[in-house]
Amino acid sequence: MSPALPGPHFPSPAPVTYLKPPDAELFADAYAFSAQAHAGQFRKDGEPYITHPLAVAEILADWRMDVQTLAAALLHDVVEDCGISREDVEKRFGSSVANLVDGVTKLDKLQFEDKAQAQAENFRKMLLAMAQDVRVILIKLADRLHNMRTLEAMREDQRQRIAQETLEIYAPIANRLGLNNFYRELEDLAFKYLHPTRYRVLDKAINAASLNRQEILEKLRSAIDAKLKDCKIEAVVYGREKHLYSIYRKMQEKSLAFTEVFDIYGLRVIVEDARNAYLALGALHSLYKPIPGKFKDYIAIPKANGYQSLHTTLFGPFGAPVEVQIRTQEMHRLAEAGVASHWLYKTGEAEFSEAQKKTHQWLQSLLDIQADSRDSVEFLEHIKVDLFPDEVYVFTPKGQIMAMPRGATAVDFAYSVHTDIGNHCVAAKINGDYMPLSTPLKNGDRLEIITSESARPNPAWIHFAATGKARAHIRNALKSTHRHESGALGRQLLSQALRALGTGLGEVNDSQWEQLSKVTGKNREDTLVEIGLGKRLAYVVARQLAARDADTDLGRAAGPMLIRGAEGVAVRLGKCCRPIPGDPIIGQIRKEQGLIIHTHDCAQVRHYREDPDKWVDVEWDPELDRVFDVNIRVTVANKRGVLATVATTISNEGSNIDDVHMEEEAGAFTNLYFTVQVQNRLHLARMMRALRGLPEVVRITRMRGRHDGRGTSVT
């Protein structure tokens, strides 16, 4: 049943003059519905609650948004706060409005482990809804802007939390979408509540300096206007004020005093077209000398959010820098309204600017990041990385320009080109030179990514990947690899346990697996992964599958598992003892880590030897084709060239040196600690014999564990 029209005590909405009559009726109906639903509800400042959705709709009406967006703005809290279902909204106002309301609605009815997870899940839902329809975030930003304008009525702790959230998430999103006015006001309001004293001091200083400043700006504006007229360039010139938070941030980042920041004057020049923008730039450079290194051409290379303008900084007539932005009217519209300019100035339903296309690409990338994130908290972490738009511009081998966030590395570039290129990259050619994937990118770099079909992402990449997309894909690939390798290990362990029972994995039929799944709640693949990760014991699963009595003596009749040392993350060689082929070894099952291989005499596994459930019988595969790291300590006499002599001997014995560390002893001796690569124990013994034959070598020892002199010595 439709709610009755609100009574006279409700505020009336201002007429939305650009709406056609049928749309105006829908808007009025949405207002009546929302006013009735919120009847009896009041905001913290005592105002009727309907004033909030009405204010949100009015903000969006300033952008000339369509009626579905305005209706959703009026209704955005009715599902969350008034017990009205999404179905009720859809039945009354259609699926488009209902989808927008649903995208904005929080997930308060779900249970989360903590507030951080709840907040992250709310953002995840909102951002994914935004990827489907950008109007969701426009409503949410308008909602946040009005809440920030009326934040005074909230408790101090709530003001701090909401302001911090605004500064970390909503203001950067507004900036990323090119909504400059929103971005500036949200930052200033957040600054006001996060640092009220600093805000008041800075605001007072700006007001005190403004009168004299306005006089100087007017003189600059007149001089520039006259110069452009002399050059027959039609333009509108006006001064622009820096917003409070940008002044504060500049003071913080560059350790400047207020007078140093505020002595920079800003002007904006609006011209007819891009050609006149460059002509105006030349005219200004002939009027005042440009400051070297302070010119940026965002017309030729737009920012990621579509922003276009020429930026230059000039030596002004009063000895102070003058920052000038030169742009066309269309560029200015886009700079102020961002993606909303599609509704403000569209000339055709299907016509999108380059900015909208770039925004759409970014929104679609959110879906990729979501698919590769473990949970909402990780998703939010990846998104925050992408929300700070300080960019560098690099070139593909074909000369295409790509914008990357400042701090991005070659591996970020690889993933931005294509996920498969990122997953299989091994190196990068930057400006023609081979460079590691961790190399930070600089403006103008030309990149080519070198790939290999056998290459896989390295866990170390997480530490230098700067984009959310790269980090999400790397983690997902590592997770998939870990799962695959753990499953393979679990299959080996289960097969070994079944052989001890006189059967084999191939003899277990689907019916037996189904019976096991009913008991454990896990399917076959999950069970094998959990065995490989040490979460489930292979012999217990084997008994369940074979339906044997729990007292059956398994023994160790199945024979040892063969270790090649290259099984991946599910089978690892213990760093505590660094086993190599030829060493007697034992396998230790560690929960979440898989199978760790130790030497028999390793101190780490002595207390496990009495518990057969914690170890696996293993031995080296006789056909090995790889090298293994081993640490040795060589005590030598202090003589010139001794390090080179020892290193040459190691190399002559067919061993590569991976690391070296020196430590002087008291007296005439030095300890050299090497990490060398050998094929097996015989290879190591041969190399050590060669080193003992050197007259400079006093003692040589194989080290267990660390190579810095604090490991365990084994001669």
Q: Give the active site residues.
A: 80-81
How big is the chain by its Cα radius of gyration, in Å? 34
User: What count of other Cβ atoms lies within 10 Å of the Cβ of residue 568?
Assistant: 15
607 vs 598: CA distance, rounded Å:
13
- What's the token pair of residue 394? 């690099």
Strand partners, 297: 310
539 vs 648: CA distance, rounded Å:
50
H or E element that contains 351: none
Contacts of 6 (CB under 8 A, 6+ apart): 31, 32, 35, 36, 39, 50
Question: If we measure between CA atoms, which residue out of 505, 431, 382, 512 comes closest to residue 120?
Answer: 382
Question: If we measure between CA atoms, which residue out of 494, 603, 601, 593 comes closest to residue 534?
Answer: 593
641 vs 337: CA distance, rounded Å:
69
440 vs 466: CA distance, rounded Å:
10
582 vs 628: CA distance, rounded Å:
12
639 vs 668: CA distance, rounded Å:
9
User: What count of other Cβ atoms lies within 10 Å of the Cβ of residue 616?
Assistant: 22
Which DSSP category does 413 fall into? H
Q: Where are the beta strands (DSSP E) in 120-247?
A: 235-240
Cβ-contact 386, 405 below 8 angstroms: yes
528 vs 513: CA distance, rounded Å:
11
- In angstroms, the Cα distances linking 255 to 187, 198, 248, 250, 547 are 20, 15, 10, 8, 73
Question: What is the three-class DSSP state of 266?
Answer: strand
Contacts of 50 (CB under 8 A, 6+ apart): 6, 10, 11, 34, 35, 38
Cβ-contact 224, 285 below 8 angstroms: no
- What's the token pair of residue 36? 């009735």
H or E element that contains 638: none
Residue 187 carries which side chain, given as an amino acid letter? E
Which DSSP category does 605 fall into? G
583 vs 598: CA distance, rounded Å:
9
387 vs 595: CA distance, rounded Å:
40
- In angstroms, the Cα distances linking 709 to 661, 664, 692 are 9, 11, 19
Locus of tokens 């997930």: 107
Cβ-contact 672, 709 below 8 angstroms: no
Residue 600 carries which side chain, given as an amino acid letter? H
Question: If we measure between CA atoms, which residue out of 621, 583, 577 comes closest to residue 596?
Answer: 577
**What are the respective helix, strand and coil percentages of the chain, to the nearest 5?**
50, 15, 35
142 vs 148: CA distance, rounded Å:
10
- In angstroms, the Cα distances linking 63 to 93, 264, 482, 486, 688 are 21, 31, 49, 54, 78
Locus of tokens 């490991």: 711
